């Protein structure tokens, strides 16, 4: 049940964040976005670093719109290893494909990587907004389709048995023949969680690829030296 306090808090925060870069609002004017937020946001939720935004299996009754901060999504394997699924930056919704699913539950744990702010929109209200705005509905469908592609690529990653092959796929996905360098956004610990391995194993594999002159790594700038050899590792 919404209280006057939560409605007032949500309303007063509407102008604090630029939502135009959110994929849900592509093609909409700033005025349209503001009106949608003023009608639909029921609560503004603030969380600190390390706090759980949601636990795997929690029922989803809101569209969680991350408007400030960064979160990570992760799973725990039977062996106790943490598998990082993804990092999500503002402005972006959490698990939009699961909101209207038959089993509308979070598929992963969601943890705040720093201070975070969420706009909480009830699922029934969000559905009404999409029914009134074709562009909003198309954006929602497009976003969910893109997430399906991402999950398919993630699944492909885990079909590769060797860590060197997984790392090669990750690097190739972040580079092109014309742009052989990129900046690693993840630390080695975070990257190890992404691959579901221990940090020493990842560090050893990176070291081997550097010694074999397949890549170079300076601070966080990774450069591909031998793309052909890397493709053969996948």
Residue 8 has pLDDT above 50, yes or no: no
Using 50, 70 and 90 to split pLDDT, how confident is the model at 201?
A: very high
Per-residue pLDDT, 14: 56
Task: Indicate the pTM of the whole model.
Answer: 0.67
Contact 94, 24 (CB under 8 A): no
Task: Round to whole Å and give the CA distance between 198 and 107.
Answer: 23
Say how many C-beta atoms besides its own lie within 10 A of residue 102's C-beta. Answer: 5
Complete domains list, the chain, with CATH: 4-159 (2.60.120.10), 163-233 (1.10.10.10)
Give the mean model confidence (pLDDT) for residues 196-201: 87
Task: Round to whole Å and give the CA distance between 9 and 87.
Answer: 27
Instruction: Give percent above pLDDT 70 in the chain.
Output: 88
Per-residue pLDDT, 13: 54
Contact 205, 167 (CB under 8 A): yes
Q: How far is CA 5 from CA 10, 16, 43, in A?
A: 9, 18, 9
Q: What pLDDT digit, counting tens, does each position of 126-157 carry?
A: 999 999 999 999 999 999 888 777 777 667 76
Beta bridge partners of 215: 224
Angle 155-158-163 from CA coordinates, rounded to 5°: 150
Residue 7 has pLDDT above 60, yes or no: no
């Amino acid at each position: 049940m919404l209280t006057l306090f939560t409605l007032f808090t949500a309303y007063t925060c509407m102008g604090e964040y630029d939502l135009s870069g959110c994929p849900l609002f592509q093609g909409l004017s700033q005025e349209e976005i503001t009106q949608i937020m003023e009608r639909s946001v029921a609560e503004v939720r603030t969380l600190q670093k390390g706090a759980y935004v949601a636990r795997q299996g929690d029922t989803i009754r809101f569209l969680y719109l991350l408007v400030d901060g960064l979160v990570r999504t992760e799973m725990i394997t039977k062996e106790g290893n943490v598998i990082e699924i993804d990092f999500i930056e503002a402005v972006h919704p959490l698990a939009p494909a699961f909101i209207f699913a038959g089993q509308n539950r979070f598929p992963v744990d969601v943890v705040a990587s720093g201070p975070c702010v969420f706009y909480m929109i009830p699922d029934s209200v969000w559905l009404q907004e999409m029914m009134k705005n074709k562009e909003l509905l198309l954006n929602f469908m497009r976003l969910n389709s893109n997430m399906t592609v991402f999950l398919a690529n993630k699944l492909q990653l885990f079909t590769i048995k060797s860590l060197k092959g997984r790392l090669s796929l990750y690097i190739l996905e972040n580079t092109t023949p014309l742009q052989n360098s990129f900046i690693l956004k993840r630390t080695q610990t975070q990257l190890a969680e992404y691959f579901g391995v221990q940090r020493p194993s990842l560090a050893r594999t990176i070291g081997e690829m550097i010694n074999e002159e397949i890549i170079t790594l300076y601070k966080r700038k990774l450069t591909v030296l031998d793309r052909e050899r890397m493709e053969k590792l996948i």
